[in-house]
């Protein structure tokens, strides 16, 4: 048996070398910062939390076997000291770091890893992330209620965990880095039951000190965190119920350090053109694509020519203007930062005449009536109206249905219900930086089911086969080959035009002037805000 | 004639009526007088950075965040407000009149059951109920109107109930009964005409409440849906702009205020003139 | 008296049951399946089905309702779908803020309304009366969200007299309470005016004047206590109006009360929270009316006798 | 008018002197005179009665003296009101306040509403004492107590802590008097002080006022429409009509030698108790009936009532069934065609309830038969044939007409309900009925508010007659009318009885009216009939103390026969 062995004693990475350009900045000691959000923080239970507010907080409360280098999409071992993968890609063996303790003082051992993953999969947990672990042997039994645990996870000793997979999964290391794979202490979870999400206990960089419901959450540094010099602040307070606009005004007055909801459209230009812009604004790309899903099973959208015509009808430049230029027009599902993105792909150019011609060819010279669903939170209704006007230019009358997210999601997951959906507000931000995460649930056949997220109800068996092939290339050496294969899946599917990729939204965060560090720790591609890495300038 | 005369003697009522007529004409003539199409996203309606443009020669009241002419949208929004005001409130008054009159006339277990039901509806926080209802059914103009009617009839029912109870106790109803008049005759020939002033007054005053409620629902995003313009959803779409583009909040806000105020003034004057219990007072 | 209270309590319970039943039927007629949203975008159909099962959403409606009522009797409002926390905990945590807001709002409107209404009644038919009455209509006709935004813009953003948002100090409550109170003050002014006019026309006021009682004493000692009765009844009803206004005001001012909670829950279709907030609001209304019923005899000895 | 004021010789200077008092009402169409140059003097210790029908200006006069006219609508334009050497019309509000309650005090018609319902009796009594005499609360309290004793209230100490609603009407009026006299005013103005009270209570209050007048040396201006009260109380009488004082003089002079025809009519119209003594039945008014006295037409009663019981407020409560109050308790009587049964009693005696019950307008227990048919159930349909036989006339004619219906439609309404005749027939019948009750047919298109009270009651009678009923229940049908109008309506009713052979169940609290109208009388008290017999027997040889007291309490419009004075 030949083992492909990867020893990763990447001490350098774990101690987080500051980027050279900012080397002269020294983090101030003992700093506490204030972060604001409009909505309540839902839960801090890592098996359940799945929105962009609590995502980064959970990241910082818990540790996982794998982690990303701050500000990048580079995977590194974290709670694991090292790991081995068999050449067939079906078994992963992790050696745990010794002496890591939960905030209640108990050491983290291998059985905690097994328990945590099983808990994420167990239907009783009602966790949304169960599906990520589908490759592990025994998954179907556990999620179907036929077993209590995952037979594919073994713990030969307290510091060794072995995962057995039923099929090769090139994304498995990413899966172990997402929140759902966070390690939780069994005894605390069982004691707290469903309240664990309000009283979380983990082994991450921070500890939750206090939670005043509807007002604030207080996080404090974990003094025993196993990564040296991390975190760089003594704590942070998350204030909720803050209107973005108000938060921003307070930020300008120095009362707030990070406005979590970003900069509201109305304030954006004022701040961008203001004198403090460079100090306050962090603007960067994220793994996001805003698209219109065109339901391939609803007449007349089932005609590929119609879908192509709609693609050509959208004036993406104008829509990016409506969001004040905080996005880049897109032509394919994958965002530019994602491995596999095809720079040379041109997609459908804005061409009304050609769109009309295609419509006529399809038998709709005078257009038709249809509906466009969208989230009811700003700016999505406005974008939907811009799209509506674009469609109207080629004779397609789309009625706008701006609904609460839940209702849009429900409509999208019901066959034949929503002809078109603008994804904004529920947009696809990658769980982890791998193209496969952009395919299965939202474009693959598996997602085109009742309650699924493939709102285009697009199912192409050939592409599905190629996707499986690509995901089986778990050998890191074939990384580039795999990316290329994935890229072709996405560009090829554009021939069927199940989506109108509209733009890749950039994330714009406002931070107070005293906050230091590179921009990408405020718009971390895997964390949103990387609380472990941010610091206050001295 | 007396009504017209007394009405015209009140400056506030005349002012109210004038504004109501103005809004009505604006709404009816919107396609003729509006400078642009209501949902036309004008290319020069946004700055190059995508910001709305303040009031100027081309756009008298400025543009909104999609580059549409605000004046045009306000004019078309008046249609929404008036349609909802009249339809929703009309329905509410009709339901309230029916339930209140029936409960007040029947009394006994049936009347009690009806009033317990209105009590129940009273115990719902009205706006919250409207929000829930509007969020449940995909909101559209008519759904919003019906939601508002569902919420607003209760008040009318209570007032009509009290009044009917009073009427039933009055001697002339007793006289009718002693003459052998049937229920239908008493209710429709004798009670209903006496409730008409109340119905007219609420038909007017209620429009003010309805316009406000519609605006509030739209402001919360569960009312009339874009691109259909409504004064509430114009503010909803641009509320975060109120520091950088205050005209987007101020002008629709004034429109709502003036319209609601005017219906209130007209309704109040009508109440003074029509309500016999108030008549003796001054 | 005790019988009256018991009867009122019984009625209140019936009303709450009705509210629970109606809300339940409404909410479960919802087109949105909360399980789908909870399961998130990467979920498999199996995960969705599991979540549905765990939430009990796959049971018949009536079973769910009976179950819900059973829990309700024990003070259990269920758990939030999204926050996984007991709804009771969430509401209790936010209730004080809403109560503070409501009490200050009621104080504002009663204070303004009582003063203006009395002044208008005393100068009845005169210029002051007409001015006050027109002003009260402006107050009544002003959309709360516009008033809120304008107050925020003028007094917080521009003049910076008050904080823009938040909770904790007295200065935080000023603008939200004003916003809530302005609308009510208009109604109160009108109510107080007509009640005062009614009372001032009563024989006993003439009696007092015939005794040589000074006008100030006539108004304050003889008229106001009698005019207060309809006002007390109105405060009870008012709580219902307030529960609605609270949603708007809390949204604009970032006030951490149950209005905000309800609004978030509605957007996330978090049914247990919506149910809980609706029930609590109805409870507040019912209790408000109950208090009004119980306070009335303190003011009016005639009711005490009954 | 000037000669009317000063010709009555008096020895001492008047306490109050009103001269040329003129008051305008401010209406939308300009000023309207409501009081026109009224002049009179009030001597020390004198009782001056201001008499007159509604709208004559009595109350405006008294409010002018108090300077309590509603400022926005009524204004004194000229004249003076001299109290001693001060002209009240020229005083500032502040000075006037000192006069009110101390020099001039006032009591009002409605003792129910004239006391502040949310203040204790004691507090209200203390108020004028503290305002005008100062001193501490204890001494004021002592004085208040003395005043309550003076007005002969039982348990005066307890009363101080009670609220007005806990007292009876008579007690409240005593409290009012105590309050008014507490500062020993020179003048007491009593505006219809006994109108709202039962006749026996009225007698007590009038007696009290007479006694206190002497004790406190107060002059009284008594305002009343009741000539009986005038005769009982007045030293001098001033008769008012349409805002003018038409006659003033000593009580005996005015009653025995009225100078004005109006005064004569007024006195003549007052039914006097005992006027029908020695006769059976009411006077005959039509020529035909005079010629041929009515024979007993039938022995079959039009209305037979046995053991009628009505309970109010009974309902199933949370804590078991609650017994209601019994308003009518086991009442039995019968009434034959062409005859009148007078149902008399004080307020709360159950007489009105009885009237409504016999027409099936409220639920009852017991036996009621109209035209020999027992009323079995109360459904509209089952009752309809009975409705044709029996009709009702109410106390307030305005309230019993639908204000939104023309009087023609109102009179035609019963025919429409019972499907009698077509449009033209009904119009003819309406015209005939209007003529029958003394109105012209052209008024059919007008609305009730365009008529006077008497005319409205005629319209109600016309409506009741439209179905040619056998029985009419008249519930206080003339109580709301002025005396002169009242007499005419009563005459109309008598006339109709003679020509149509109607049977009346005539319900009234007014013994004199009952005496005039009835063949038989049933006296009710506490829901029971305490005495039942022919009018003559009941009025002349009553077996019951209660009835005798009722009769004795009725003031007689003849100053020479002041029984109250004798009683006092």
What is the pLDDT, as a whole number, of residue A354? 93
Same domain (yes/no): A174, A297: no
- Using CA atoms, how far residue D62 sits from D50, D107, D374, D481, in Å, is 9, 10, 54, 22
What's the rounded Cα separation, in Å, for the pair D339 and D472?
11
Same domain (yes/no): A354, A464: yes
What is the pLDDT, as a whole number, of residue A5? 38
What's the rounded Cα separation, in Å, for the pair B112 and C79?
36
| Residues belonging to chain D with any Cβ–Cβ distance to chain B shorter than 8 Å | 356, 359, 361, 380-381, 383-384, 387-388, 390-392, 394-396, 399-405, 413-414, 417-418, 460, 463, 467
Domain membership of residue D402 (yes or no) is: yes
Look at chain A and report how many structural domains it folds into. 2
Domain membership of residue A436 (yes or no) is: yes
Domain membership of residue D361 (yes or no) is: yes
Judge contact between D341 and D520, C-beta under 8 A.
yes
What is the pLDDT, as a whole number, of residue B282? 28
Instruction: Read off the tokens for A84.
Output: 């081995």
| D318 contacts on C by Cβ (under 8 Å) | 3, 6-7, 10
Question: Å from D386 to nearest chain B CA?
Answer: 9
What is the pLDDT, as a whole number, of residue A8? 37
Is a pLDDT exceeding 80 seen at residue D566? no
**pLDDT digit string (tens) for B244-273?**
788 888 888 899 899 989 998 888 888 878
Best C7, C8, C126, C212 member to test D by mutation, with max D CBs in 10 Å, is C212
Q: Which residue has the tokens 């040396």?
A: D217
**pLDDT digit string (tens) for D352-404?**
889 988 888 888 888 888 888 777 666 667 777 778 888 888 888 888 888 88
A266 interfacial to chain B (CB closer than 8 Å): yes
Q: ipTM of the predicted structure?
A: 0.77
What is the pLDDT, as a whole number, of residue D333? 92
What is the pLDDT, as a whole number, of residue A489? 92
* Residues forming beta bridges with residue D326, ordered by sequence position: D311
B69 interfacial to chain A (CB closer than 8 Å): no
What's the rounded Cα separation, in Å, for the pair B234 and B250?
11
- Supply the mean pLDDT for chain D: 85
A45 burial (CB, 10 Å; 0-12 / 13-18 / 19+) is: buried
Instruction: Read off the tokens for C255.
Output: 């006030």
* Nearest residue of C to residue A192, measured between CA atoms: C85
Select from B170, B183, B189 the Cβ nearest to the Cβ of D380: B183
Confidence at B279, pLDDT banded by 50, 70, 90? very low
**pLDDT digit string (tens) for B24-52?**
998 888 888 888 888 778 777 777 777 88
CB contact under 8 A, C164 and A123: no
D172 burial (CB, 10 Å; 0-12 / 13-18 / 19+) is: buried
| B39 contacts on A by Cβ (under 8 Å) | 385, 388-389
Q: Domain residues for D406? A: 298-310+327-552
Same domain (yes/no): A292, A441: yes
Best C256, C266, C271, C274 member to test A by mutation, with max A CBs in 10 Å, is C256
Judge contact between D334 and D500, C-beta under 8 A.
no
The answer to whether A and C touch (≥3 CB pairs < 8 Å) is yes
What is the pLDDT, as a whole number, of residue A428? 57
What is the pLDDT, as a whole number, of residue D293? 55
Domain final position from A154, A186, A218:
A186
| A124 contacts on C by Cβ (under 8 Å) | 54
CB contact under 8 A, C268 and A406: yes
For D235-274, letters b (16+ CB in 10 Å) and e give bbbbbbbebbbbbbbebbbbbeebeeebbeebbebbbbbe
CB contact under 8 A, C31 and A410: yes
Domain membership of residue D98 (yes or no) is: no
Domain membership of residue D499 (yes or no) is: yes
- Using CA atoms, how far residue D438 sits from A254, B260, D455, D471, in Å, is 92, 53, 9, 21
Q: Which residue has the tokens 């007698």?
A: D203
3-state DSSP call for residue B157? helix
CB contact under 8 A, B240 and A265: yes
Domain membership of residue A144 (yes or no) is: yes
Bridge-based pairing of strands A32-36 and A258-259 is parallel
Q: How many CB pairs under 8 A join A and B?
A: 77
Q: How many CB pairs under 8 A join A and C?
A: 155
* Nearest residue of B to residue C238, measured between CA atoms: B125
CB contact under 8 A, D403 and B174: no
Using CB atoms, which chains have 3+ pairs under 8 A with A?
Answer: B, C
Domain membership of residue D12 (yes or no) is: no
What is the pLDDT, as a whole number, of residue A237? 94
Look at chain D and report how many structural domains it folds into. 1
Instruction: Read off the tokens for A51.
Output: 């929105």
Closest CA to B262 of B84, B101, B21: B21
Domain membership of residue A347 (yes or no) is: yes
pTM more than 0.95? no
How far from the centroid of its chain's Cα atoms is residue C45's Cα? Answer: 42
Confidence at B91, pLDDT banded by 50, 70, 90? very high
CB contact under 8 A, B125 and C149: no
Domain membership of residue A521 (yes or no) is: no
Domain membership of residue D539 (yes or no) is: yes
What's the rounded Cα separation, in Å, for the pair C208 and C219?
10
Judge contact between B36 and B62, C-beta under 8 A.
no
* Nearest residue of C to residue D181, measured between CA atoms: C211
Judge contact between A436 and A408, C-beta under 8 A.
no
CB contact under 8 A, A324 and B49: yes
Same domain (yes/no): A164, A311: no
Taking residue A12's Cβ as centre, other Cβ atoms within 10 Å add up to: 10
Using CB atoms, which chains have 3+ pairs under 8 A with B?
Answer: A, C, D
**pLDDT digit string (tens) for D181-215?**
888 899 999 998 888 888 888 888 898 888 888 88
Is a pLDDT exceeding 50 seen at residue D6? no
| C305 contacts on D by Cβ (under 8 Å) | 163, 165-166
CATH of the domain at A384: 3.10.105.10
Task: From the options 3.40.1000.10, 1.10.3720.10, 2.60.40.10, 3.40.50.1370, give the CATH code of B1-34+67-274.
Answer: 1.10.3720.10
**pLDDT digit string (tens) for D150-165?**
888 888 999 999 998 8
C residues 157-196 closer than 8 Å to B (CB): 157
Domain membership of residue D156 (yes or no) is: no
Using CB atoms, which chains have 3+ pairs under 8 A with C?
Answer: A, B, D
Orientation of helix C87-122 relative to helix C271-299, angle to 10°: 40
Q: Which residue has the tokens 């829990």?
A: C71
Select from B170, B174, B180 the Cβ nearest to the Cβ of D380: B180
Question: Å from B265 to nearest chain C CA?
Answer: 7
Instruction: Read off the tokens for D528.
Output: 């029971």
What is the pLDDT, as a whole number, of residue D216? 86
Orientation of helix C144-151 relative to helix C170-200, angle to 10°: 130
CATH of the domain at D470: 3.40.50.300
Judge contact between D535 and D281, C-beta under 8 A.
yes
Of B220-234, D1-15, D205-219, give the lowest mean pLDDT range. D1-15
A246 interfacial to chain B (CB closer than 8 Å): no
CB contact under 8 A, B243 and A245: yes
B237 interfacial to chain A (CB closer than 8 Å): yes
Q: Identify the structural domains of chain C with CATH numbers, from first to last.
A: 1-77 (no CATH), 94-303 (1.10.3720.10)
B207: preceding bond cis by omega (within 30 degrees): no
Is a pLDDT exceeding 60 seen at residue B276? no
The answer to whether B and A touch (≥3 CB pairs < 8 Å) is yes
CB contact under 8 A, B174 and D395: no
What's the rounded Cα separation, in Å, for the pair B231 and B250?
11
Question: Å from C229 to nearest chain D CA?
Answer: 11
Instruction: Read off the tokens for A157.
Output: 């000793």
Best A126, A415, A453 member to test C by mutation, with max C CBs in 10 Å, is A126
Confidence at D567, pLDDT banded by 50, 70, 90? very low
What's the rounded Cα separation, in Å, for the pair A145 and D271?
100
Is residue A304 within a helix (H) or strand (E), and if so which, with residue range?
Answer: helix A304-313
Domain membership of residue A393 (yes or no) is: yes
Question: Å from C125 to nearest chain D CA?
Answer: 8
Instruction: Read off the tokens for A432.
Output: 């982890």
CB contact under 8 A, C210 and D97: no
| C30 contacts on B by Cβ (under 8 Å) | 136
Domain ranges of chain B: 1-34+67-274
Of chain C, the percentage scoring pLDDT greater than 90 comes to 0
* Residues forming beta bridges with residue A27, ordered by sequence position: A537
CB contact under 8 A, B125 and C11: no
CB contact under 8 A, B175 and D460: yes
How confident is the model over C20-41, as a mean pLDDT?
74
Domain membership of residue D445 (yes or no) is: yes
**pLDDT digit string (tens) for C229-257?**
778 777 777 777 777 788 888 888 888 88
Computed from CA positions of residues A226, A231, A235, A236, in that sequence, does the dihedral angle turn out positive or negative? Answer: negative
Domain final position from A158, A186, A214:
A186
Domain membership of residue A86 (yes or no) is: yes
| Residues belonging to chain D with any Cβ–Cβ distance to chain C shorter than 8 Å | 66, 68, 72, 93, 97-102, 105-106, 108, 110, 113-119, 127-128, 131-132, 163, 165-166, 176, 179-180, 317-319
Judge contact between D441 and D482, C-beta under 8 A.
no
pLDDT tens digits in sequence order for chain A, 538 residues long: 333 334 333 333 333 444 444 445 788 888 999 999 888 888 899 988 888 788 889 999 999 999 998 888 888 999 999 999 988 889 999 999 998 999 988 999 999 999 999 999 888 888 888 888 888 999 888 888 888 889 999 999 999 999 999 988 888 999 999 999 999 999 999 998 888 988 999 999 999 999 988 889 999 999 889 888 888 999 999 998 887 888 888 888 888 999 988 887 777 888 888 888 888 888 888 888 999 999 999 888 999 999 999 999 999 998 988 888 889 999 999 998 888 899 899 889 999 999 999 999 999 999 899 999 998 777 888 899 999 999 999 999 998 888 877 788 888 888 888 999 998 877 556 788 888 888 877 888 888 887 788 899 999 999 989 998 888 887 778 888 899 999 999 999 999 999 999 999 888 888 998 998 888 888 888 888 889 899 998 7
| A410 contacts on C by Cβ (under 8 Å) | 31-33, 36-37
Is a pLDDT exceeding 70 seen at residue B223? yes
| B195 contacts on D by Cβ (under 8 Å) | none
Q: Domain residues for A339? A: 285-506
The answer to whether D and A touch (≥3 CB pairs < 8 Å) is no
């Amino acid at each position: 048996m030949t083992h492909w062995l990867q020893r990763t004693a990447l001490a350098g990475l774990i101690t987080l070398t500051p980027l050279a350009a900012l080397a002269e900045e020294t983090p101030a000691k003992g700093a506490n910062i204030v972060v604001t959000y409009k909505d309540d923080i839902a839960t801090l239970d890592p098996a359940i939390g799945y929105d962009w507010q609590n995502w980064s907080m959970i990241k910082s409360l818990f540790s996982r076997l794998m982690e990303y280098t701050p500000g990048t999409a580079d995977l590194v071992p974290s709670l694991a000291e090292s790991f081995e993968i068999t050449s067939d890609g079906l078994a992963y063996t992790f050696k745990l770091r010794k002496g890591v303790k939960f905030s209640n003082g108990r050491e983290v051992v291998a059985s905690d890893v097994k328990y945590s993953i099983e808990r994420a999969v167990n239907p009783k947990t009602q966790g949304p992330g169960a599906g990520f672990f589908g490759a592990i042997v025994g998954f179907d039994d556990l999620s179907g209620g036929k077993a209590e645990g995952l037979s594919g996870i073994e713990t030969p000793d307290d510091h060794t965990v072995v995962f057995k997979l039923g099929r090769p999964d090139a994304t498995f290391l990413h899966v172990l880095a997402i929140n759902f794979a966070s390690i939780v202490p069994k005894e605390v979870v069982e004691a707290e039951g469903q309240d664990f999400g309000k009283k979380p206990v983990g082994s991450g960089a921070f500890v939750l000190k206090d939670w005043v419901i509807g007002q604030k959450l207080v996080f404090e540094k974990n003094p025993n965190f196993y990564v040296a010099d991390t975190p760089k602040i003594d704590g942070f307070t998350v204030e909720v119920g803050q209107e973005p606009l108000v938060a921003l005004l307070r930020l300008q007055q120095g009362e707030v350090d990070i406005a979590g909801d970003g900069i509201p459209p109305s304030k954006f230009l004022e701040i961008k053109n203001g004198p403090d812009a460079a100090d306050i604004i962090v603007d960067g790309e994220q793994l996001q694509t805003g698209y219109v899903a065109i339901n391939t099973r609803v007449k007349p959208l089932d005609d590929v020519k119609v879908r192509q015509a709609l693609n050509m009808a959208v004036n993406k430049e104008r829509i990016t203007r409506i969001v004040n230029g905080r996005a880049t027009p897109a032509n394919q599902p994958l965002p530019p930062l994602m491995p596999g993105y095809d720079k040379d792909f041109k997609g459908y150019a804005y061409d009304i005449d050609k769109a009309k011609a295609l419509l006529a060819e399809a038998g709709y010279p005078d257009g038709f009536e249809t509906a466009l669903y969208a989230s009811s939170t700003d700016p999505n209704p406005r974008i939907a109206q811009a799209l509506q006007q674009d469609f109207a230019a080629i004779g397609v009358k789309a009625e706008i249905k701006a609904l609460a997210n839940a209702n849009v999601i429900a409509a999208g997951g019901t066959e034949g219900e929503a002809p078109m959906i603008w994804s904004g507000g529920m947009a696809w931000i990658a769980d982890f930086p791998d193209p496969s995460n952009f395919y299965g649930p939202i474009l693959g056949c598996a997602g085109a089911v009742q309650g699924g997220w493939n709102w285009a109800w697009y199912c192409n068996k050939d592409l599905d086969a190629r996707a499986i092939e690509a995901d089986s290339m778990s050998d890191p050496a074939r990384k580039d080959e795999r990316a290329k294969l994935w890229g072709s899946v996405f560009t090829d599917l554009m021939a069927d035009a199940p989506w109108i990729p509209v733009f890749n939204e950039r994330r714009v965060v406002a931070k107070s002037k005293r906050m230091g560090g590179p921009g990408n720790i405020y718009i971390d591609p895997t964390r949103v805000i990387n609380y472990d890495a941010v610091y206050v300038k001295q | 004639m007396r009504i017209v005369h007394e009405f015209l003697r009140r400056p506030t009522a005349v002012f109210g009526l004038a504004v109501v007529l103005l809004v009505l004409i604006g709404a009816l003539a919107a396609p003729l007088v509006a400078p642009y199409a209501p949902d036309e996203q004008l290319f020069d309606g946004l700055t190059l950075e995508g910001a709305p443009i303040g009031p100027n020669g081309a756009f008298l009241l400025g543009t909104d965040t999609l580059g549409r002419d605000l004046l045009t949208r306000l004019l078309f929004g008046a249609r929404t407000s008036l349609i909802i005001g009249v339809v929703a409130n009309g329905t509410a008054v009709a339901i309230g009149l029916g339930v209140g009159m029936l409960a007040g006339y029947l009394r006994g277990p049936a009347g009690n059951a009806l009033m317990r039901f209105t009590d129940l509806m009273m115990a719902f926080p009205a706006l919250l109920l409207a929000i829930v209802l509007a969020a449940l059914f995909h909101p559209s103009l008519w759904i919003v109107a019906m939601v508002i009617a569902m919420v607003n009839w209760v008040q009318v029912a209570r007032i009509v109930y009290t009044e009917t109870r009073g009427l039933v106790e009055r001697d002339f109803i007793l006289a009718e009964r002693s003459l052998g008049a049937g229920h239908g005759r008493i209710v429709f020939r004798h009670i209903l005409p006496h409730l008409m002033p109340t119905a007219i007054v609420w038909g007017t005053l209620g429009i003010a409440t309805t316009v406000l409620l519609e605006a509030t629902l739209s402001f919360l995003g569960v009312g009339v849906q874009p691109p259909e313009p409504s004064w509430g959803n114009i503010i909803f779409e641009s509320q975060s702009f109120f520091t950088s583009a205050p005209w987007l909040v101020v002008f629709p806000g004034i429109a709502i205020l003036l319209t609601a105020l005017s219906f209130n003034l007209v309704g109040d004057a009508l109440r003074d003139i029509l309500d016999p219990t108030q008549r003796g007072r001054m | 008296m005790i019988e009256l209270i018991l009867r009122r309590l019984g009625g209140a319970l019936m009303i709450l049951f009705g509210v629970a039943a109606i809300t339940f039927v409404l909410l479960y007629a919802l087109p949105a399946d909360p399980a789908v949203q909870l399961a998130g975008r990467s979920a498999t159909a199996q995960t969705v089905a599991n979540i549905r099962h765990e939430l009990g959403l796959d049971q018949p409606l009536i079973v769910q309702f009976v179950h819900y009522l059973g829990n309700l009797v024990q003070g259990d409002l269920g758990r939030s779908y999204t926050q996984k926390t007991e709804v009771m905990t969430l509401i209790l945590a936010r209730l004080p803020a809403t109560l503070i807001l409501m009490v200050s709002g009621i104080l504002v409107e009663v204070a303004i309304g009582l003063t203006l209404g009395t002044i208008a009644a005393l100068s009845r038919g005169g210029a002051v009366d007409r001015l006050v009455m027109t002003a009260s209509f402006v107050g009544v006709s002003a959309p709360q969200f516009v008033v809120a935004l304008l107050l925020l813009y003028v007094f917080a953003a521009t003049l910076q007299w008050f904080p823009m948002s938040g909770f904790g100090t007295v200065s935080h409550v000023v603008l939200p309470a004003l916003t809530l109170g302005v609308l009510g003050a208009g109604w109160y002014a009108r109510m107080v005016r007509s009640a005062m006019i009614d009372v001032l026309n009563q024989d006993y006021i003439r009696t007092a004047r015939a005794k040589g009682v000074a006008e100030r004493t006539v108004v304050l000692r003889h008229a106001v206590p009698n005019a207060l009765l309809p006002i007390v009844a109105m405060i009870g009803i008012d709580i219902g109006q307030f529960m609605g206004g609270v949603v708007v005001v809390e949204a604009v001012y970032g006030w951490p009360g149950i209005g905000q909670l309800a609004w978030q829950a509605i957007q996330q279709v978090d049914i247990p929270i919506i149910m809980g907030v609706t029930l609590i609001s109805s409870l507040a209304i019912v209790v408000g009316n109950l208090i009004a019923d119980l306070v009335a005899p303190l003011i009016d000895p005639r009711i005490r006798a009954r | 008018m000037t000669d009317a004021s000063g010709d009555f010789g008096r020895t001492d200077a008047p306490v109050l002197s009103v001269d040329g008092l003129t008051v305008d009402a401010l209406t939308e169409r300009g000023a309207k005179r409501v009081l026109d140059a009224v002049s009179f003097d009030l001597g020390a210790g004198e009782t001056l009665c201001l008499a007159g029908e509604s709208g004559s200006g009595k109350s405006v006069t008294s409010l002018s003296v108090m300077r309590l006219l509603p400022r926005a609508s009524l204004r004194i334009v000229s004249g003076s009101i001299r109290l001693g050497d001060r002209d009240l019309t020229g005083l500032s509000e502040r000075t006037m306040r000192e006069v009110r309650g101390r020099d001039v005090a006032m009591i009002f018609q409605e003792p129910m509403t004239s006391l502040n319902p949310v203040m204790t009796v004691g507090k209200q009594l203390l108020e004028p004492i503290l305002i005008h005499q100062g001193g501490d609360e204890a001494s004021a309290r002592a004085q208040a107590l003395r005043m309550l004793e003076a007005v002969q209230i039982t348990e005066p100490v307890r009363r101080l802590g009670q609220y007005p609603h806990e007292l009876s009407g008579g007690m409240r009026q005593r409290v009012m008097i105590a309050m008014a006299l507490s500062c020993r005013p020179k003048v007491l103005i009593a505006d219809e002080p006994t109108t709202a009270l039962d006749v026996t209570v009225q007698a007590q209050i009038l007696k009290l006022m007479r006694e206190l007048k002497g004790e406190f040396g107060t002059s009284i201006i008594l305002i009343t429409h009741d000539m009986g009260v005038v005769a009982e109380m007045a030293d001098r009488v001033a008769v008012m009509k349409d805002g003018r004082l038409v006659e003033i003089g000593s009580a005996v002079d005015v009653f025995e030698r009225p100078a004005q025809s109006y005064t004569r009519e007024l006195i003549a119209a007052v039914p006097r108790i005992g006027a029908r003594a020695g006769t059976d039945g009411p006077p005959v008014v039509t020529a035909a009936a005079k010629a041929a006295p009515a024979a007993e037409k039938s022995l079959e009663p039009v209305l037979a009532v046995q053991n009628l019981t009505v309970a109010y407020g009974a309902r199933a409560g949370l804590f078991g069934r609650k017994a209601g109050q019994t308003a009518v308790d086991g009442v039995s009587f019968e009434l034959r065609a062409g005859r009148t049964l007078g149902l008399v009693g004080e307020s709360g005696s159950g007489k009105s309830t009885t009237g409504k019950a016999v027409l099936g307008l409220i639920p009852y227990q017991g036996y009621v038969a109209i035209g020999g048919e027992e009323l079995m159930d109360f459904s509209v349909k089952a009752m309809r044939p009975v409705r044709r036989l029996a009709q009702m006339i109410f106390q307030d004619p305005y309230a019993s007409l639908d204000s939104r219906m023309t009087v023609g439609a109102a009179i035609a309404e019963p025919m429409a309900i019972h499907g009698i005749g077509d449009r033209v027939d009904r119009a003819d019948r309406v015209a005939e009925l209007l003529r029958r009750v003394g109105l012209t047919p052209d008024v059919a298109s007008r609305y009730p508010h365009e008529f006077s009270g008497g005319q409205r009651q005629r319209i109600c009678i016309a409506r009741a007659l439209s179905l040619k009923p056998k029985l009419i229940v008249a519930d206080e049908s003339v109580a709301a009318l002025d005396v002169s109008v009242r007499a005419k309506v009563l005459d109309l009713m008598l006339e109709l009885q003679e020509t149509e052979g109607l049977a009346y169940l005539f319900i009234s609290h007014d013994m004199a009216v009952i005496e005039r109208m009835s063949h038989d009388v049933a006296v009710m008290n506490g829901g029971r009939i305490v005495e039942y017999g022919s009018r003559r027997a009941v009025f002349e040889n009553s077996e019951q103390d209660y009835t005798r007291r009722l009769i004795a309490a009725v003031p007689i419009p003849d100053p020479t026969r002041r029984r109250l004075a004798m009683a006092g």
